[in-house]
Amino acid sequence: MEVEQSPDGPEPMIVDSPSNGIEDLDMNVGSLEKFCKEAARSFFAEWGLISHQINSYNEFIEHGIQDLFDSLGEVNVEPGYDPSKKGNAEWRHANVSFGKVYTQEKSDKAKTGKDAYIVKNVVSDKKKEIAIGRIPVMIRSKLCWLHTLDKSDCLFDSGGYFLIKGMEKTFIAQEQRHLARVWVTDKPSWMVSYLSEMKRKRIYIKLVEAPKAEGFSGGKVVNFFFLYATFPVWIMFFALGASSDKEVFEMIDLGESNADLINIILATVKNADEHYKKFCEDADEHDKNFRRVDKAQDYVNGQVKVSKFPPSESFDEYVDKFLFPNISGHRQKALFLGYMVKCLLLACFGKRKCDNKDDFRNKRLDLAGELLARELRAHIRHAERRMVKAMQRDLYGDRDLQLIERYLDASIITNGLNRAFSTGAWCHPYKRTERCSGIVATLRRTNPLQMMSDLRKTRQQVAYAGKAGDARYPNPSYWGKLCFLSTPDGENCGLVKNLAVTALVSLKVTEPILDKLISSGMEKLDAISLTSISNMDKVFLNGDWVGVCADSSSFAARLLESATVEIKWDKHQREVRIFSDAGRILRPLLIVENLKKISKLKGGVCSFQHLLDQGIIELIGVEEEEDCPTAWGIRHLFMGDEGQPAPKYTHCELDVSFLLGLSCGIIPFANHNFARRVLYQAEKHSQQAIGFSTTNPNIRVDTLSHQLYYPQKPLFRTVIADCLGRADYSLGRKDSMPRPEYFNGQNAIVAVNVHQGYNQEDSLVMNRASLERGMFRTEHFRSYKAEVENKELTKRFKLRDKVDFGKMQSKKGKVDSLDDDGFPYIGASLQSGDIVIGKVAESGEDHGIKLKHTEKGMVQKVVLSANDEGKNFAVVTLRQVRSPCLGDKFSSMHGQKGVVGFLESQENFPFTRQGIVPDIVINPHAFPTRQTPGQLLEAALGKGIACGGSVRYATPFTTASVDVITEQLHRAGFSRWGSEKVLNGRTGEVMRSMIFMGPTFYQRLIHMAEDKVKFRNTGPVHPLTRQPVADRKRFGGVKFGEMERDCLLAHGAASNLHERLFMLSDFSQMHICQTCKRAANVILRPVVGGNKIRGPYCNFCQSSENIVKINVPYGAKLLYQELFSMGICLKFDTEVC
């Protein structure tokens, strides 16, 4: 394959290459790249960025709730009297089973009903439909009213969250270990384990040192850990029906084995004989051969029944229930047990890799459906227990049973889910008595990018964050599935991650997969001999061994019809692994051999689903991608190394930037910046930038929100932003639905220069005239809420002092702007100390809400409503227009954050010969220390775009080269390197040095000096230490540490230092006796004449003379008193040197 230049321009043309296996294409690279962008745009239009959460919830509503109730089974209610009467006519009991579950209504919460079939001997036989609880409805799910609306109340709102008590809550996808899968590890010892998804009982097979006994040389043996009992695994094979050692060896199927492996098998057999002989001696059994089913089962029973938690069932019952419950039949269980032993031995001798717990092959994501099912199961169990106890009381008291709704309390499920959403404490996936945190989070809405990032987060739960180890490091399986950079810093670094922009999460396939496997050529295990099994490839479905097949290649090809079913053909292990469960991460890739089908599309008019059906694009999982050589993009597909042919690929990325998350993918020139700066922009600055977060701010009541007056698009473009933004056409279809813009800021002319020392390091000097013209001007909204009891609740609970909205002349604030109902007028201006919502008690006591000392604004709206509990509440929203001031924080798209250090007049700024005056001046030292050359490239590219009028892409990994940018600047009449001669604004002279200047996209962050103003003279102090309390809302003190102290000392401000650290902190006085140099107490003591006076008195000297008063911090006085109580007496020297 070669790349040639097109005669019309620099566009390379595709030439056929036998090494690639691609037929001649009548499309050039540019056409294929355009198709990839259109396909990606169609993908986002059909699937969206949060379809994984909504689809999971819809699946839970349609099938998950019914499956949950079906798994609970029948509830048997038996009274607590003598069970010997069971079966007699006097035995009165009830059986309750659950039928069809359905939703009753659409609202902010949907009621779940159930058909309860109540069958009672002799008493009655009734069927009734009842409501058992209310579950929250996900916004834009099938149960939501907004699902069927073409135009919603907010055009940027994609749903995927819940409304709980007026708060927007969202699930964070939880990374969980894939259950029902064989797991081999060598730490702390060689071990293979299996955890059932049904009963969650872990089964271990360990390679341990054999005990050295008489006649036994020791060595390594294989032991079986089952139901808290440990015994040789060889005996378990015979308990499951094996008839000879040869049959067990065939079940393990080791193939060509070396001597060391055979020695372990022989040692295991001998160890089993020794254990069974000892068992027979203890039981006075003469037949010491365990190679019979009944003898082996007796041995296993003897070991299990004396374990820590012995089961009450018989051997067959607890084996079917706890030993591989997904697999039916003792022979199939024995075969799977042999497979586990084989995996352990092969891994021990290096013929099989150990499983990596951090690899996403071994993980699944629990989304809204799985998390709701987990929590709902616990509350249903609680409601069942309450129902059983109530029915038992009636049965025991020989009373007739009441209607079923008398026994079922619907508030248990409703209140339990509300409490879980409000507190964030969720049921543990494995431990019933523990709760997990970090599963539910409050949705943040500073801008659309922050909201979308919260909805696409994943979290890995660890017991101790400090011992997470390798879990924090990137894993090769993250490629294209998770973003390598979108993770917070601090203790959650590497544990909280973001999905890649094209990553999808699979749902459980409801089709009968097993029947399809049989029709495709698979043979079941119970219908084939052991000899035939060893000569065929194993077939696994979701981790369970279900059969074997002779021709794996054709067998896997027949199963490729379903887009979300993942098929892995492991030739080395001779296994075909098929996964159809939920929680697998998939991503779309181009199929290289089917690229010729693109030219056959009629005018490109098709949907993304059509591309999947035609085989042009395929959804690939982690297991499948290991065997798929994938090109980084169309250009990389047809370009090999210099002088070498292009390698052969089976798949190709739609775009290399799709490997990143949403926040990283829209950063221009991200691959040129230091990785930590990209992380700061993706996880901090981009989500703190003030933008236009919603299209319905007038009907929303947010506690705190910001709005940028004049948001702009950047001059550059990225592929991700282009595919997600507003496009005229998407594969031939007009896109009429507006989509949110993920850029939040404005284009500013930025000059790189020092300016009077006011922009040291990352500090900024801003043009005052630009700010006065409205640049970076924002509107700040804050809402205040108050609740009161309504009249009905007041009468019900007979409250002695009713509180209601109203106006009174308050002593703690002004009420001039309130009407008689206690609410302010629309447009009223409120200042610090004013009452924003008036509340008055019947006794006349004032309960109004007052503005804090730093709060003010103009009344935007007043809302009066009632909540689900029947309480009336009022919300008053204040707005405030803010222009940038000293101390406000700004950031570029490259993690270059800085504060405003000075506001300079426009006439004092340098200007170019065209009269261009910069809006921002940044210090050149900010770039080498933070390693962000991407900002310089953005400024140079933006200057060429502004002059040339043609938009260029700044997509990571596919950006324009430096030569292209410099040539574009040269054609526009500028210096190739972006520097310009400027005139001094103060003197009018040409400055000797040239200044780099260009348009750069800057973001105003929510960190504003006006919100962080903290000052006080004196105020509240702690009752123990008498030092200022913390927290600005409590009018607390200002933090003053060692660095601040050193700065004041360096400036010689000793008096100021004394004032800040002593006079305004914990000023106190003590009385010291100069004779004994100990503290004197102020007491009431008698004097001559019978009178009493109050004054200092030294108890050590028994005198009131020679006592002086000194000024000391109260902390020092408290330390003296605490040491004195411990028997340590300090002496004070009060002499003046």
pLDDT digits (tens, 9 = 90+) for 618-652: 999 999 998 889 998 888 887 765 556 667 889 99
Q: Is the pLDDT of residue 734 over 50?
A: no
Check whether the bond before 188 is cis (ω within 30° of 0): yes
- Predicted confidence at residue 564, as pLDDT, reads 79
Distance CA 1120, CA 793 (A): 55
Backbone angles phi, psi at 393, to 5 degrees: -60, -40
- Predicted confidence at residue 729, as pLDDT, reads 39
Beta strands in 418-543 (DSSP E): 426-427, 435-436, 440-442, 457-460, 496-498, 504-505, 523-524, 537-541
| 760 and 850 co-located in one domain | no
Distance CA 651, CA 633 (A): 10
Q: Measuring CA to CA, which residue among 901, 890, 891 is closest to residue 932?
A: 891
Least confident range of 460-469, 548-557, 573-582, 1005-1014: 460-469
- Predicted confidence at residue 291, as pLDDT, reads 84
Cβ–Cβ < 8 Å for 604, 35? yes
| 210 and 325 co-located in one domain | yes
In this structure, how many other beta carbons lie within 10 angstroms of the beta carbon of residue 860? 19
Percent of the chain exceeding pLDDT 70 equals 88
Average pLDDT over residues 1059-1086: 89
Sign of CA dihedral 940, 944, 945, 950: negative
Coil, helix or strand at residue 413: helix
Which string of b and e fits 116-130 if b means at least 16 CB within 10 Å? bbbebeeeeeeeeee
* Cα angle: 426, vertex 477, 494; to 5 degrees: 50
| 272 and 369 co-located in one domain | no
Indicate which CATH number applies to the domain containing 763: 2.40.270.10
Q: Is the pLDDT of residue 736 over 50?
A: no
Distance CA 314, CA 333 (A): 17
| 208 and 313 co-located in one domain | yes
Backbone angles phi, psi at 600, to 5 degrees: -85, -10
Q: How confident is the model at residue 679 (pLDDT cuts 50, 70, 90)?
A: very high
Coil, helix or strand at residue 24: coil
Q: How confident is the model at residue 11 (pLDDT cuts 50, 70, 90)?
A: very low
Distance CA 321, CA 129 (A): 32
Least confident range of 85-89, 191-195, 301-305, 840-844: 85-89
Token pair recorded at residue 1127 = 């028997």
Full domain range(s) for residue 1045: 1014-1061
- Predicted confidence at residue 4, as pLDDT, reads 34
1072 bridge partner residues = 1079, 1108
Cβ–Cβ < 8 Å for 1022, 1065? no
| 1045 within some domain | yes
H or E stretch covering 13:
strand 12-14
For 875-904, write each residue's pLDDT tens digit. 999 999 999 999 999 999 999 999 999 999
- Predicted confidence at residue 995, as pLDDT, reads 92
| 656 within some domain | no
Average pLDDT over residues 912-934: 92
For 754-796, write each residue's pLDDT tens digit. 998 888 888 999 999 999 999 999 999 999 999 988 766 555 5
Coil, helix or strand at residue 178: coil
- Report CA-CA distances (Å) from 163 to 144, 167, 174, 371, 984: 11, 6, 21, 17, 57
| 691 and 708 co-located in one domain | yes
- Predicted confidence at residue 640, as pLDDT, reads 60
- Predicted confidence at residue 513, as pLDDT, reads 85
Least confident range of 126-135, 262-271, 924-933, 994-1003: 126-135
Distance CA 308, CA 295 (A): 23
| 307 within some domain | yes
Token pair recorded at residue 173 = 């996808």
| 253 within some domain | yes
Domain boundary among 517, 547, 580: 580
| 104 within some domain | yes
Least confident range of 767-776, 945-954, 1046-1055: 945-954
For 1077-1107, write each residue's pLDDT tens digit. 999 999 888 877 778 888 899 988 988 888 9
| 45 within some domain | no
Distance CA 920, CA 795 (A): 63
Residue 891 carries which side chain, given as an amino acid letter?
S
Q: Is the pLDDT of residue 865 over 70?
A: yes
Least confident range of 406-420, 475-489, 711-725, 947-961: 947-961
Distance CA 1003, CA 583 (A): 36
Percent of the chain exceeding pLDDT 90 equals 36
| 988 and 1020 co-located in one domain | no
Number of domains in the chain: 7
Coil, helix or strand at residue 509: coil
Average pLDDT over residues 722-748: 65
Cβ–Cβ < 8 Å for 152, 143? no
Helices (H), ranges, 367-524: 368-396, 411-423, 448-455, 513-519
| 271 and 374 co-located in one domain | no
Indicate which CATH number applies to the domain containing 241: 3.90.1110.10
| 977 and 1021 co-located in one domain | no
- Predicted confidence at residue 216, as pLDDT, reads 52
| 375 and 401 co-located in one domain | yes
- Report CA-CA distances (Å) from 98 to 76, 127, 128, 379, 382: 12, 10, 11, 15, 15
- Report CA-CA distances (Å) from 1048 to 511, 1053, 1057, 1126: 74, 5, 7, 37
Q: Measuring CA to CA, which residue among 125, 124, 132 is closest to residue 100?
A: 132
Q: How confident is the model at residue 859 (pLDDT cuts 50, 70, 90)?
A: very high
Domain boundary among 406, 427, 448: 448
| 813 and 860 co-located in one domain | yes
| 1039 and 983 co-located in one domain | no
Cβ–Cβ < 8 Å for 996, 981? no
Higher per-residue pLDDT: 531 or 1055: 1055
For 436-447, write each residue's pLDDT tens digit. 888 999 999 999
Indicate which CATH number applies to the domain containing 836: 2.40.50.150
Distance CA 142, CA 144 (A): 6
- Predicted confidence at residue 21, as pLDDT, reads 45
Distance CA 649, CA 632 (A): 10
Token pair recorded at residue 1005 = 């962050």
Query: What is the distance between the terminal CA atoms of the chain, rounded to a whole angstrom?
Result: 93
Domain boundary among 554, 580, 606: 580
| 890 and 874 co-located in one domain | no
Per DSSP, 508 falls in state: P
H or E stretch covering 554:
helix 552-558
- Predicted confidence at residue 925, as pLDDT, reads 92
Q: Measuring CA to CA, which residue among 483, 956, 894 is closest to residue 718?
A: 956
Indicate which CATH number applies to the domain containing 1046: 3.90.1800.10
Least confident range of 127-131, 213-217, 885-889, 895-899: 213-217
Of 19-33, 487-501, 524-538, 801-815, the range with the highest mean pLDDT is: 487-501
Distance CA 632, CA 1021 (A): 62
Q: How confident is the model at residue 862 (pLDDT cuts 50, 70, 90)?
A: very high
| 871 within some domain | yes
* Cα angle: 565, vertex 567, 568; to 5 degrees: 155
Q: List all residues 6 or more positions away from 496 whose beta carbon is below 8 Å from its beta carbon.
A: 172, 457, 458, 459, 460, 487, 488
Residue 790, burial from CB neighbour count under 10 angstroms (0-12, 13-18, 19+) = middle
Q: Is the pLDDT of residue 558 over 60?
A: yes
For 149-172, write each residue's pLDDT tens digit. 766 678 888 899 999 988 999 999
Q: List all residues 6 or more positions away from 1125 whose beta carbon is below 8 Å from its beta carbon.
A: none
Cβ–Cβ < 8 Å for 578, 542? yes
| 454 within some domain | no
Q: How confident is the model at residue 694 (pLDDT cuts 50, 70, 90)?
A: confident
Distance CA 503, CA 1012 (A): 39
In this structure, how many other beta carbons lie within 10 angstroms of the beta carbon of residue 1084? 9
Which string of b and e fits 888-919 if b means at least 16 CB within 10 Å? bbbbbbbbbbbbbbbbbebeebbbbeeeebbb
* Cα angle: 544, vertex 195, 361; to 5 degrees: 65
Token pair recorded at residue 1120 = 């003296």
Average pLDDT over residues 179-187: 86
Q: How confident is the model at residue 212 (pLDDT cuts 50, 70, 90)?
A: low
3-state SS, 846-893, equals ECCEECCCCCCEEEEEEEEEECCCCCEEEEEEEEEEECCCCCCEEEEC
Q: Measuring CA to CA, which residue among 804, 781, 806 is closest to residue 859?
A: 781
Q: How confident is the model at residue 254 (pLDDT cuts 50, 70, 90)?
A: confident
Q: Is the pLDDT of residue 285 over 90?
A: no
| Number of helices and strands in the chain (H, E) | 30, 54
What does the chain come to in residues? 1137
Cβ–Cβ < 8 Å for 732, 605? yes
Strands of 94-103's sheet in order across: 75-77, 94-103, 109-120, 125-136
Distance CA 1120, CA 1126 (A): 10
Distance CA 1001, CA 978 (A): 16
For 318-329, write each residue's pLDDT tens digit. 888 888 888 888
Q: How confident is the model at residue 106 (pLDDT cuts 50, 70, 90)?
A: very low
- Predicted confidence at residue 118, as pLDDT, reads 37
Token pair recorded at residue 1123 = 């040491």
Higher per-residue pLDDT: 669 or 726: 669
